[in-house]
Chains A and B, each alone.
Chain A
Amino acid sequence: MKTVMINASPKKKGDVSGHLLQMQRIMLHGTVVKEKLRTQGDHDRILEQLRDADTVVFSMPLYVDGVPSHVLAFMENMEAFCKEHDLQLQLYVISNGGFIEGSQNRALMQVFENFCDRCKIGWGGGIGIGGGVMVNVMRILLVVYTGLFLLQLLTGNVQGGLMQYGEQLLVLLFFHLGIFWCMFRTGAAMRKKECAGVRFTRVLVPSLIFILMADLFFVLMSLFQGGLFRGWLKKK
């Protein structure tokens, strides 16, 4: 069985979509080909990979409640390709939005279901994830925590370090539980080429705390970019 996993974030690096795809990949068997969809130049290469594929998994950011425009352009080409070559694919989607509610991905999922109808390929469903940026933040935290743990090991504080690291890992695991569960269920359906249905989940942080963290995130991002509040709220 051949699965093509398409990371459709337009970012060159540091994207959440690719990271989520990596997690989902652990649950798949068979040949897995990873592709990156950023520009028109990627279309032909990816379409060629689809020719003998059984399953295709898209992972993308939610843009303005829907599919990012560069992905829509690819979908139009893919529709023609599916019809021309009579492809028998099963399609799944993982989408992640910046807002905390996973259900904000609902319209995007409907668009992909409509797309599958047009292409006459199988709609496998997928996962709509809220709080995507936090997934990235947690990825960074994991690296930081691991670094600190190694430092403590070097300084001989094995027991204390282990306890602290264990606690930190548990907290990170808790925040991911919804995502892991959905990936586990969707992965099982992917292996059988069945429809998984659509699931919505989120990073398990209360909304109000998430909003404060999102504000802090953009303040820090601005600082890293060399300044703060350069007319953030001004009518330009």
Chain B
Amino acid sequence: MKVILHDLPEKYTELLQKHCDTVIRADGKYAPCQGCFGCWTKHPAECYLRDSLHTVCRTLGRADELIIITRNCYGMYSPAVKNILDRSIGLSTPFSTYRGKQMHHTLRYGKHALLKVLAYGDMTAQEEKTFAYMAERNAVNFGYEASSFIPMKSLAELEEDVL
């Protein structure tokens, strides 16, 4: 399954839909993670907060390919996109393992193929470096075999990069 997670205006959802199985739009109309770990221990793969991200970890967990399109925020995802990633840790289990020579959690849905991060908006050279490193780290953490980071000069590049 190919999933696209983006924080672009609503009109882009339709365009992106043509290139994947599921589009998740980060509209920010949901609460941030409360850090309770209930999605691991109490009601696995489900958040106790009953908003639109209640079971979003299941969608991200099933993605073979995940494309994230996000505004750059100091070399990181926008708050709305990061909120979805934070609320998705239920895609792993509470048990620990070693991955990339470091401690991580075992994966509920197994390994994924590709994580691609496309960032737009004003970005300094240092932020670009940070973001590339962040995407690499997230790929290991969430169990992706490969990852890439693409800073976009403008949204016109979008279709070319997503395809």
- Are A114 and B35 in contact, with the CB atoms below 8 A? no
Total A residues in contact with B, Cβ cutoff 8 Å: 49
CB distance from A50 to the nearest CB of B (A): 18
Q: Interface majority SS on B: helix, strand, loop or mixed?
A: mixed
Known: A10-B35, A114-B126, A117-B126. A218 touches B76 (CB 8 A): no
**Binary interface profile of A, 195-236, with partner B (CB < 8 Å = 1, else 0)?**
000000000000100110011001001100111001111111
**Binary interface profile of B, 76-96, with partner A (CB < 8 Å = 1, else 0)?**
111110110110110001111
Give the interface size class of chain B.
Answer: 35 or more
- Are A69 and B75 in contact, with the CB atoms below 8 A? no
Q: Is A67 an interface residue (CB 8 A)?
A: yes
Contact for B82 among A66, A106, A225, CB less than 8 A: A66
- Are A207 and B103 in contact, with the CB atoms below 8 A? yes
Contact for A233 among B37, B76, B86, B108, CB less than 8 A: B108
Cα of A226 to Cα of B38 in the assembled complex, Å: 12
Q: Is B65 an interface residue (CB 8 A)?
A: no
New contact pairs (5) apart from A67-B76, A111-B76, A226-B42, CB-CB < 8 Å: A64-B88, A104-B137, A111-B75, A210-B103, A211-B103
Q: Is A92 an interface residue (CB 8 A)?
A: no
Cα of A198 to Cα of B88 in the assembled complex, Å: 29
- Are B41 and A75 in contact, with the CB atoms below 8 A? no
- Are A10 and B130 in contact, with the CB atoms below 8 A? no
